[in-house]
Structure 1
Amino acid sequence: MSVLAAVAGVLVLMVVWSSVLRTVLIPRRTSSRMARWTVRLAAAAGTAVARRLPRRACESVMDFCAPVSLLLMMIGWLLGLGLGFALLALAAGVAFDADAMLRFFELKLAGTAGVLAVFAAVSVTVVIAVFLAHVVRFVDAYSRRERFVNRLAAQASQIPDGDRVLADYLRSGSRDNLDHHFAEWADWLADIHGSHVCYPGLVYHRPSGDLWWPHAAMIVMDAAALVDAVAPKWAPPHTRVLLDSGTACLQQLAERIGIVVPELTVSLHGREECSFGDTVELATAAGLPAERDPYQAWAAFQDTRVRYAPYAVMIGSRLMCHAETEEDEVEYSSQ
């Protein structure tokens, strides 16, 4: 029994430390199972409760999904450490009762058990310190995301506003200036992709303002898709970089939170009231050269948009942007 307890304790500690290292210290575009499971648990519970509440109360509940997932992850690590060292203590001869275990974790035992208790205390201290470093990185990634969204919100608040944003950039600068903006947006989407995969709770972290990051992604990608559709030869070099980065970001994040989008040929998500002819007229009047006729531009625009817009809308629905319901998500899926 002592051997079995020792082996089980070592295995539990290996699993816990593997989770800690994969979550915090290993720079990869992935996350530990603990990080993913705690986010899913917190999001599932929060969403189930929030859907049955009024909008104000719904927002309050959803605000806690990301913080609760972080706390659950830390609690899981600490419980794993406690279980692992308790099994090692049993293997070292500590009696299997509450009083003996309490004395073990209070560092009141001598010999092998006392040494194990010191290692347990050090491990708990290190895990807490590492968790705090993880929280700092989490908050920093959130700040980077919201900084760009809030800057864009000064120019656009709705998805169709991407047309006006593009027209403003075309009037106020050169092709190189537009390319600079597209490069910034591409970097932002690449950062969202990497940070939200590494820190799954970021997907559910509520915005600091009124504009949600999936909607911001649609606004900037619509601007790039319009340039690519109307003037593919004139389009700045970072036009396709922005579209490819955003498409990969939205598709992968949607897949990670369990969203399946049916194959579509047309995407009007958020642009139901917009005339594409008016959009093209606004852009060309602002200085975008018309290299394709409106019908060809429409086909090219839709060929690109169906790869990202439905995913962004479905992510927003899953996050309960403006307290959307399950019926909204079904409606989006059927478009």
Structure 2
Amino acid sequence: MSLRTIELLAGQVLAIVTLRDVFDTVVVPGGSKATLRVARRCVALLLPLWKHLRHRAGISTTFAPMILVLSFVIWMGLLSLAFGMMAHALSTSFDPPLRSFSQAVYLVGSGLVTVGLSETDALGGARWVVLGSGFCGLAVMTMAVTYLLVVQSSLAGRDTGILKLMTAAGNPPSALRLLERHAAIENVSGISRVLDDGRDWCASVQQSHAAHPSLIYFRSVGTGAGWPAALGALLDLALIVEHLLDFREARGCAALMREEGARMASELVTLLKLPPAAPAKALEGANGLKSRLMAAGYAIRQDADLEAFLRARQEHAVLVSALADHLGLPAASLD
């Protein structure tokens, strides 16, 4: 087998692997399962450096967009290299023949970006290489635009839920402050609606972020502590209603919210392969919890067990804290 043939086959393999990675990352729900995993490798490489440079400031609003743009740049670069190898292997099929590998990359690169600049005419099989580069470039750029629309739509739904929660729960959100706020405005019956909306929010965020893991790293302006703190506050709210309050009409909503939120936290922690993180203190914010609820006008269950509540909270707090620590964001507190 000649070197030209090996170069042609290597270019074809690289093009197929790259396109598979783009397709699995952008189109197929669940993230990239291909060999390259460009987006995930960019995050794994740059996230520790980014967090180190920003210390405790967390991930900025520019990190996730930068990873997204960098991924598409790398994909286009790999496709330029792949089709350049194919064109160089067929250099004698051009008129005049290609003089160098850099000329071959320039020729197919212009096709990838749909400019179509060329100093030579393609003949025979080389025509299909040039045509294939243009088609793949158009496909990748189309998927990039489509993916941006998916990102914007998913982030809008996620951030709307966070902003609504912050209105009553503060920033960072707290389940106790939310309950006190609803009691102060005489809207205790609205707690059930908050739990139902929270359950819908958890299901929506879990579906979108598990399908497209890059969404996990997007942080929008004005959303305060971010989505891990919002998730923690909703889980705290569900546990308080379930374990401490004599509020039977909301207990079923709380149980469903807790299950949905715990499933969301568990799936995202598993997806990111994060070790569980220990919360700051098991009793942090718990002292005076019952007295503050009673002062707000809530009836406490006769069989309320604060220790059982804290044990249940510990189960989800280790997951929420792992997500928050990974993103450099604060977790929810009971205060």
Q: TM-score range by the shorter chain?
A: 0.7 to 0.9
Encode CA deviations 1:80-104: one digit per residue, 9 max, x unaligned. 2112212222332354432344345
Is the Cα contact below 8 Å between 1:31 and 1:197 reproduced in 2?
A: no
Change (3 A) 1:232 1:36: farther
Query: 1:332: which partner in 2?
Result: none
Match of 2:160 among 144, 147, 166: 147
Match among 36, 47, 51 for residue 47 of structure 1: 51
Query: Match of 1:249?
Result: 264
Letter in 2 for 1:236: R
Consecutive unaligned residues in structure 2, runs of 5 or more: 93-97, 110-116
1:240 aligns with 2:241: no
Contiguous gaps of at least 5 residues in structure 1: 325-335
CA RMSD of aligned residues (A): 3.0
Q: 1:195 aligns with which of 193, 205, 208?
A: 208
Q: In the alignment, is the contact (CA less than 8 A) between 1:24 and 1:134 conserved in 2? A: yes
Q: How many residues align?
A: 307
1:180 equivalent to 2:193? Answer yes
In the alignment, is the contact (CA less than 8 A) between 1:42 and 1:68 conserved in 2?
no
Contact 1:31/1:200 (<8 A) preserved:
no
How far the C-alpha of 1:263 sits from its partner, in A, is: 7.0
Between the aligned partners of 2:161 and 2:60, the Cα distance in structure 1 is 22
**1:154 & 1:312 partners in 2: Cα distance?**
21
The CA deviation at 1:255 is 4.2
Report Cα offsets for 1:258-301 as digits up to 9, x if no partner: 5322678x7345x26x4233245257x33x561514xx2x1221
Q: Which position in structure 2 is the counterpart of 1:222? A: 236
Mapped contact 1:65–1:204 kept (Cα < 8 A): yes
1:163–1:282 CA contact under 8 A, matched in 2: no
Distance 1:5 1:168, change over 3 A: same
User: 1:149 deviation in Å?
Assistant: 0.9
**Alpha-carbon deviation of 1:220?**
1.6
Q: TM-score, normalised by structure 2?
A: 0.79
Task: Tell me, in whole angstroms, the C-alpha distance in 1 between the residues paired with 2:221 and 2:10.
Answer: 45
| CA–CA separation in structure 2 for the residues paired with 1:215 and 1:8 | 47
The answer (yes or no) to whether the contact 1:42–1:65 under 8 Å persists in 2 is: no
Q: Is the contact made by 2:83 and 2:129 (CA closer than 8 Å) also made in structure 1?
A: yes
User: What is the percent sequence identity of the aligned residues?
Assistant: 20
Structure 1, residues 292-330: CA drift from partner, whole Å, max 9, x if none?
A: 14xx2x1221222112223323433332337x9xxxxxx
